[in-house]
């Protein structure tokens, strides 16, 4: 049996109705890259009928179902109230339905040792859930590059490698890459301001922007990456390596909690 990996959904309003969903490239990378069964986890569920109370979400119930949690990227931003800030630009997109699930889920998954992998918004969520803060407009910070994509380009152009990162010696990413530098794509307007306490930097850009970290001293696999390893993961050694490592951790975690798979009896 493949491990089951919960993928956190965005919640957007489409034609006036809340819609929970995930961009397919993330689901594909979990299925093919991590060799897992992706299962979409909704954000908080509103009361569609005013006579009904909103649906209650129990984080532990979600964790009982899965062998791993994947936090995908999204155009929306983590609500600044979660890191003690006010919105500097209220029109920037928010997704409180996602924040309300992902932030508590991150802490609970780490405590339980459920393998956890966050990309872009997911990376930023992990930093915030663990007590860090974000720059709401990284590109306005003195000395920082503009890490946003050129939206006039087609998708291949937007997701093309954009800058180098230094990989921390002895870290997970350096060991998967077999190198101390890697060229990565870049599609984010926000970025880590204050890094959460007790996490270890895994990768950093030349302008000082933190690009990846791990939470040490937790019982399970975890990694948070600011760039997009899911994009054409099969073409890049580090991208495919990190999805494989995540899938392996999820499989081992699943086998440990369910018991190793039984061999089919010969007939």
Ligand X SMILES: N[C@@H](CCC(=O)NCCCC(=O)O)C(=O)O
User: Is the CB of residue 235 less than 8 Å from the CB of residue 49?
Assistant: no
Token representation of residue 46: 């509103």
The one among 31, 66, 71, 120 contacting ligand X by CB under 6 A? 120
Minimum distance between the CB of residue 137 and ligand X, rounded to whole angstroms? 9
Considering 97, 120, 147, 149, which one is annotated as catalytic? 120
Minimum distance between the CB of residue 94 and ligand X, rounded to whole angstroms? 10
Does 23 sit near ligand X (CB under 6 A)? yes
Token representation of residue 180: 């101390």
- 120 catalytically annotated: yes
User: Is the CB of residue 220 less than 8 Å from the CB of residue 113?
Assistant: yes
Minimum distance between the CB of residue 70 and ligand X, rounded to whole angstroms? 12
The one among 12, 214, 228, 251 contacting ligand X by CB under 6 A? 228
Instruction: State the binding string over 140-179 for ligand X (x if CB under 6 A, else -).
Output: ----------------------------------------
The one among 73, 115, 171, 220 contacting ligand X by CB under 6 A? 73
Q: How far is CA 207 from the centre of its chain?
A: 22
Residue 67 or residue 236: which is nearer to ligand X going by CB? 236
The 3-state secondary structure of 29-84 reads: HHHHHCCCEEEEECCCCCCCCCCCCCCCCCHHHHHHHCCEEEECCCCCECCHHHHC
User: Is the CB of residue 213 less than 8 Å from the CB of residue 200?
Assistant: yes
Quick one: which segment of 30-38, 57-65, 101-109, 188-196 binds ligand X (CB under 6 A)?
Answer: 188-196
Strand ranges (DSSP E) for 89-128?
116-119
- 82 catalytically annotated: no
Spatial separation of the C-alpha atoms in residues 255 and 180, rounded to whole Å: 33
Minimum distance between the CB of residue 194 and ligand X, rounded to whole angstroms? 16
Does 133 sit near ligand X (CB under 6 A)? no
Spatial separation of the C-alpha atoms in residues 161 and 227, rounded to whole Å: 10
Q: Which residues bind to ligand X, rule: CB under 6 A?
A: 23, 73-77, 120-121, 124, 187-190, 228
Active site residues: 120, 228, 230
């Amino acid at each position: 049996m493949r491990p089951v990996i919960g993928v956190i959904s965005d919640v957007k309003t489409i034609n006036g109705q809340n819609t929970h969903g995930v961009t397919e490239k993330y689901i594909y990378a979990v299925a093919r890259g991590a060799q897992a069964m992706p299962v979409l986890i909704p954000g908080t569920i509103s009361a569609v009928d005013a006579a009904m109370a909103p649906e209650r979400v129990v984080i532990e119930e979600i964790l009982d179902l899965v062998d791993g949690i994947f936090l995908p990227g999204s155009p929306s931003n983590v609500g600044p109230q979660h890191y003690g800030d006010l919105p500097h630009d209220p029109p920037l997109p928010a997704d409180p339905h996602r924040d309300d699930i992902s932030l508590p889920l991150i802490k609970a998954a780490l405590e339980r040792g459920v393998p956890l992998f966050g990309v872009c918004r997911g990376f930023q969520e992990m930093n915030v859930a663990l007590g860090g803060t974000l720059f709401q407009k990284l590109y306005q910070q003195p000395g920082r590059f503009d890490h946003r994509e050129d939206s006039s380009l087609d998708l291949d152009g937007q997701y093309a490698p954009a800058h180098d990162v230094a990989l921390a010696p002895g870290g997970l990413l350096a060991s998967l890459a077999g190198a101390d530098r890697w060229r990565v794509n870049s599609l984010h307007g926000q970025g880590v301001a204050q890094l959460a306490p007790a996490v270890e930097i895994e990768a950093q850009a030349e302008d000082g922007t933190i690009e990846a970290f791990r939470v040490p001293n937790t019982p399970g696999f975890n990694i948070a990456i600011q760039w997009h390893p899911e994009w054409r993961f099969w073409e890049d050694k580090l991208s495919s390596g990190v999805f494989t490592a995540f899938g392996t951790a999820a499989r081992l975690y699943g086998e440990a909690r369910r018991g190793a798979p039984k061999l089919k009896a010969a007939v």
